[in-house]
Structure 1
Amino acid sequence: MMAGVKWIFLIIGTTIGAGYASGRELWQFFGQDSSLAILLFTVMFMVCCGSVMSISYKQQSMHYLPVLRTIVGRHLTGVYDWMIIFYLFTTTIVMLAGSGATLQAYDISYRVGVLVIALPLILLFVWDVKGLVIMNALVLPVLIVGLLLILFLFITDQKLSLFEHIGDTANWMAAFPFTALNVLPLVAVLGAVGSRMKSRREVWVASIGSGFLLGSISFLYNSSLIQISEEILLYEIPLFAILKHYPYSMMVFMSIVMWIAIFTTAASGTFGLVTRFREYWKQPLWIIAFALIAVMLPFTSFGFSTLIQYLYPLYGVLNLYILTALLLYPVTHRFKTS
C-alpha cells in the first residue's frame, strides 16, 4: 500500500507544475462548461497511469524507451522518442520560467528566481533516483494540502456552489487534449521506475489514487477560477487573483506551495531526460542534469505565460495518438494474450 502511495506522489509531482498550480493551464483548457471534461479527464488519467505502469512493471524498465516501443510500436518509437525529449526539455524550461515569475511577484529579479530553482535541481540528482523519490514524499503532502486549503477557504468565504455549473458540458472535448498533454511526462517518468516496482498492487493504488486526487483538485480549482474569470486576464498567475482576497501571509505561503509544484515537475522532467541520456553518456546523473539545465537557461527569457499559451495546446494535440494507444492498451493487451 505505502509503495503505491510513493508512486502517487511521483505522478502528482510530475503533473502539478507551474502551469497547473498557477491555474493558467487549467484555464487554458477548461473554464466554463467543463464539468464533464474534468470527469472524463479523471477516468482517462487513471487508465493511462495504469497502462504505463503495467508495461513498465512487466518490463522492469530503467528508462522510458522500452515502454514507449510497446505503446506506439517500433516504427513510431523514434518519432515519439524525440517528441518526449523535446517535450521534457521545453516543459522544464517552463518550470524554470515559472520560478522566475513567482519570485518576480516579490520584486525579486526574474533571473535570480530562475537560478533559485536551477541550483537545487542539479543537487537533487547527487542522490540519483532515490533523491527524487524522497523529495516527492517530503514536499508533495505540503503541496496538496496547501492547494486544497486555499481552494476550500475561497469556496467557503465566497459562498460558492460547487455544483452550480455541473450541468454545463459544452466543453467536454477539452478533456482529450488536456489528458494528452500530461501523457508524455507520465511515460517518461513512470517508464524509468519499472525496475523499482514490487507488485501489481502498486499499479492500481497509484493510478486510481492519483487520478482521483487530480480530478478532485481540478474540479475545485476550475470552479473557483470561473468566479473570477473577468480578473484572470489581469494576472500572469491566476492563483494570485484568488489570493488577493486574503492577507499577505497567505500569498507568501501559497507562493511557496506553488514553487514546490514548479520544483517537483522540473525535477520529474529532468529525471526523464537524464535517465534517457545516461544510456549514452556514462556520467553521474547530477552532471547530466547540470549540462541540460545550462542549455535550458537562455530559453527562459521567453516568459512563463507565453510558453504555456503556445506550447501546451500544441503538445495536447500532438499527443492524441499516444493517448488513444494508452486508453486502448488494456483491451489490446488482453486480446494479444488470450
Structure 2
Amino acid sequence: MWLSGLKWMFLIIGTIIGAGYASGRELWEFFGSESGLAIVLFAILFFICCYVLMTISHQNRTEHYMPVLRKLMGKRLTGVYDYMIILYLFSTTIIMIAGGGATLEVLHIPYWYGVSIISMLLVLLFVWGISGMTSMNAVIIPVLIVFLVGTLFVFQWTTGFEITFDLTAQHNWPTAFTFTALNILPLVAVLAAIGKKIRHPGEIWIASFGSALVMGVISFLYNESLLIVAHEVMLYEIPLFAILKHYPYFMVLVMSGLLWAAIYTTAASGMLGLCTRFREYVSLPFWLIALVLTALMIPLTTIGFSTLIAILYPLYGLLNLYILAAILLYPILHRFDERPVP
C-alpha cells in the first residue's frame, strides 16, 4: 500500500512540476509577497482535489477521464470539457516538445535533434504503458525534488533564512484558488487513468496528503527564496537562474537538465491523458497511439503559440475555476445524495 501510494504521489507531482513550476515562473506570477497563507490554502485545496479525483476514479474503476467528468459535471457539460481537455493536453504537449528541443540547444544540440530526442523518449516510455509512466516518475521526480529543495535550502542558509509569515499581511490569499485551478485539467486526465490500478483506499490518502505536503513545502520555500532576489527576477526569463547566479556553472547545467526532465514529465503526463482517452476508440497499444500523436504534434512545434496561449489560457482559467468548484463541492453534494429520503 505504501509503495503504491508513493508511486501515485510521484505521478501527481510529476504532472504538476512542469517547466513553468520548476523554473519558478508560475510561482512568481501567482504568488510573490504576502503569499504565505495563499500557499497554505493551495496545499489544502490541492489535497482535497487529489483525494476527490482519486476516490471517484477508484470507485468507478476508471481508465480515462470521461467517467470522472460525468460524475463531476453532469452529462450536459461533459462533452464540452472533454473537447477542452483534449485541446489542452494536445496544445501543452506540443509546447513541451518544442520546449524540450529549445532547452537542449543550451548543450549545442540542434533544435530538431532535441525535438526528435524528446519525441522518441515519449514513444519509448509508452511501450510499457501506464507502468512505464509511473516507473519513470518514481525515478525522475525524487531526484528533481532533492536537487530543487537542496538548492533552495542552501540558498536560504547562505542568506540567513529570511523567512517571514505575518498573518496581518496576507492579502494575496485568493490566488490559491486560481493557482489550484490552473493545474486541475491535467490532474483530472492523469488521475482518472489510474482508477483501475488503485487497490486500496489507503493509497489515496498517502498520494493525496504526500503530494499536497511536498508541493506546499516546495512552493513556500521557493517563493520565499524568490522574494530575496525579487529585484533581479525581472532580468531573468527563468527566475531560478536569479537564485543560481552565485552558484558554480556546473549547478546551472545540472538544474538546466532538471528543467528538461520537468518538461519531459509534463509532456508524458499530457500524452498519458490523450492515450488513455483515445484508447476507448482504437484498440492499439499505448506506444502506437503515442507515435501517431507525436507525428501529428512535431510539425506544429514550428507554429508560434504565443497567440494561442493568450487566447486559450484565460479561457482555461475561467473554465478551470468551475471544475475546481465542482470538485470541492462534490463530497458535500455526494453525501446529501446518499442520505435516505425520510
CA distance 1:168–1:297, shift in 2 (3 Å):
farther
Secondary structure of the 1:151 match is helix
Q: What is aligned with 2:4?
A: 3
Q: 1:302 Cα deviation (Å)?
A: 5.4
Q: What is aligned with 2:138?
A: 137
CA distance 1:220–1:156, shift in 2 (3 Å):
same
CA distance 1:245–1:136, shift in 2 (3 Å):
same
- Paired with 2:21 and 2:166, the residues of 1 have a C-alpha distance of 21
Structure 2 segments unaligned to the other structure (5+ residues): none
In 2, are the aligned partners of 1:35 and 1:168 still within 8 Å (CA)? no
Q: What is aligned with 1:51?
A: 52
Q: What is aligned with 2:99?
A: 98
In 1, are the aligned partners of 2:97 and 2:119 still within 8 Å (CA)? yes
Q: 1:314 Cα deviation (Å)?
A: 4.2
CA distance 1:41–1:70, shift in 2 (3 Å):
same
In 1, are the aligned partners of 2:36 and 2:165 still within 8 Å (CA)? no
Q: 1:309 Cα deviation (Å)?
A: 6.8
Q: What is aligned with 2:192?
A: 191
Q: What is aligned with 2:180?
A: 179
Bigger Cα displacement from structure 2, 295-304 vs 275-284:
295-304
1:209-243 per-residue CA deviation (whole Å, 9 max, x = no partner) reads 10111011111111111222232233222212211
CA distance 1:310–1:107, shift in 2 (3 Å):
farther
- Paired with 1:114 and 1:219, the residues of 2 have a C-alpha distance of 33
Q: 1:62 Cα deviation (Å)?
A: 0.9
In 2, are the aligned partners of 1:52 and 1:190 still within 8 Å (CA)? yes
In 2, are the aligned partners of 1:25 and 1:308 still within 8 Å (CA)? no
- Paired with 1:306 and 1:212, the residues of 2 have a C-alpha distance of 35
Secondary structure of the 1:60 match is coil
Bigger Cα displacement from structure 2, 236-245 vs 157-166:
157-166
CA distance 1:236–1:307, shift in 2 (3 Å):
farther
Q: 1:297 Cα deviation (Å)?
A: 2.3
- Paired with 2:160 and 2:306, the residues of 1 have a C-alpha distance of 30
- Paired with 2:29 and 2:132, the residues of 1 have a C-alpha distance of 32
Q: What is the identity, as a one-letter code, of the residue corresponding to 2:229?
A: I
- The percent identity for this pair of structures is 57
Aligned residue pairs, count = 338
Secondary structure of the 1:226 match is helix
Secondary structure of the 1:270 match is helix
In 2, are the aligned partners of 1:18 and 1:94 still within 8 Å (CA)? no
1:161-219 per-residue CA deviation (whole Å, 9 max, x = no partner) reads 12266653222111111101111111101101111011111111111110111011111
Structure 1 segments unaligned to the other structure (5+ residues): none
CA distance 1:160–1:235, shift in 2 (3 Å):
same
Secondary structure of the 1:105 match is helix
Secondary structure of the 1:260 match is helix
Q: What is the identity, as a one-letter code, of the residue corresponding to 2:192?
A: G
CA distance 1:305–1:257, shift in 2 (3 Å):
farther
Q: 1:308 Cα deviation (Å)?
A: 6.7
Bigger Cα displacement from structure 2, 104-113 vs 281-290:
104-113
Normalised by the length of structure 1, the TM-score is 0.94
In 2, are the aligned partners of 1:29 and 1:178 still within 8 Å (CA)? yes
Secondary structure of the 1:31 match is coil
Q: 1:142-153 residue pairs with structure 2 within 5 A?
A: 142-153=143-154
Bigger Cα displacement from structure 2, 288-297 vs 9-18:
288-297
- Paired with 2:129 and 2:9, the residues of 1 have a C-alpha distance of 19
- Paired with 2:306 and 2:318, the residues of 1 have a C-alpha distance of 19
Q: What is aligned with 1:124?
A: 125
In 1, are the aligned partners of 2:102 and 2:114 still within 8 Å (CA)? yes
Bigger Cα displacement from structure 2, 108-117 vs 207-216:
108-117
- Paired with 1:23 and 1:312, the residues of 2 have a C-alpha distance of 18
Q: What is aligned with 2:224?
A: 223
CA distance 1:113–1:234, shift in 2 (3 Å):
farther
Q: What is aligned with 1:29?
A: 30
CA distance 1:298–1:242, shift in 2 (3 Å):
farther
Q: What is aligned with 2:242?
A: 241
Q: 1:282-301 residue pairs with structure 2 within 5 A?
A: 282-301=283-302
Q: What is aligned with 2:329?
A: 328
Q: 1:123 Cα deviation (Å)?
A: 0.7
1:84-116 per-residue CA deviation (whole Å, 9 max, x = no partner) reads 111111221232233234323344433333332
- Paired with 2:16 and 2:206, the residues of 1 have a C-alpha distance of 17
Q: 1:315 Cα deviation (Å)?
A: 2.3
Secondary structure of the 1:333 match is helix
Secondary structure of the 2:174 match is helix
1:57-91 per-residue CA deviation (whole Å, 9 max, x = no partner) reads 00001111101110111110000011111111122
- Paired with 2:245 and 2:268, the residues of 1 have a C-alpha distance of 29
Q: What is the identity, as a one-letter code, of the residue corresponding to 2:213?
A: F
Secondary structure of the 2:282 match is coil
> RMSD in angstroms over aligned alpha carbons?
2.0
Q: 1:158 Cα deviation (Å)?
A: 2.2
- Paired with 1:310 and 1:254, the residues of 2 have a C-alpha distance of 31
Matching of residue 82 in structure 1 with residue 89 in structure 2: no
